[in-house]
Structure 1
């Protein structure tokens, strides 16, 4: 079985029945990343697999720290997933900022935050897909998060702390999308 199919099955098993709204979000992130993966080349399979697995740490039985990137990465390590896949899940969507806000930065440190196009496309795919799977612009998604949580909530504090990283990743990914001509502007 290929990495992408394995990732889809693992994510489905953990999220589809217990967190159906989260599962819809994951399906749409994976659909978007899958379109990018076709054009990406060597890292396309990795990108698509990471998109399927990026939110696996939300599964109730895996939520040990309540920081889903870390919980997901640890579970994937236990399953023997490739290190780059584990790292992409651990660091998706500027999780380093959230880890710092939660005091979990030391726990996240062993995972590499690769500075690659695959990483940027994963972040863009996640940060332009709403909680119910709806397509959104980056600005709309950031506004949606701010509306959903009180201003003093750790999610909003982490959003502020990691906004520059998010903008940079989305800009790099969008630049590639524009050059390659894959998918309309997101």
Structure 2
């Protein structure tokens, strides 16, 4: 029981201080080394020295990606966007969310999302891990969503939101 408690303390330390790598040597957990500052130049992938590294999440970049990648065609924020999929307003998101849980929810709905993407966009949306992290940050950011407007949406996406030219617009303006 004592060993279990010690390991739990070390796990909490790892979560609290993500810049420090720890190694389990059997009966003790020791500090291995200080991780270098991560950036796009020295971190080509998500794995580094056997550790998962969380990307920096940028809600401003996520706002641009939400519109340019086509998420806005099916999802809305502030009433701007499609209504074929759930709205992604920050006000309806949990206060604290594990980004992996967000990705898991996307995975569970992947089959339907891919079908809608092919129908609405004539292609599937490709996202890197960094792009997904930024979009997750945007859908949880009250600040970035407050400035999201139809002006953020590229013309191609606006046309796709105007289904079949029948005058049925799938975007609005925040009142």
Greater RCO between the two (CA within 8 Å, min separation 6)?
2
- TM-score after normalising by structure 1: 0.26
Counting helix residues as a fraction of each chain, which structure ranks higher? 1
Counting strand residues as a fraction of each chain, which structure ranks higher? 2
- TM-score after normalising by structure 2: 0.27
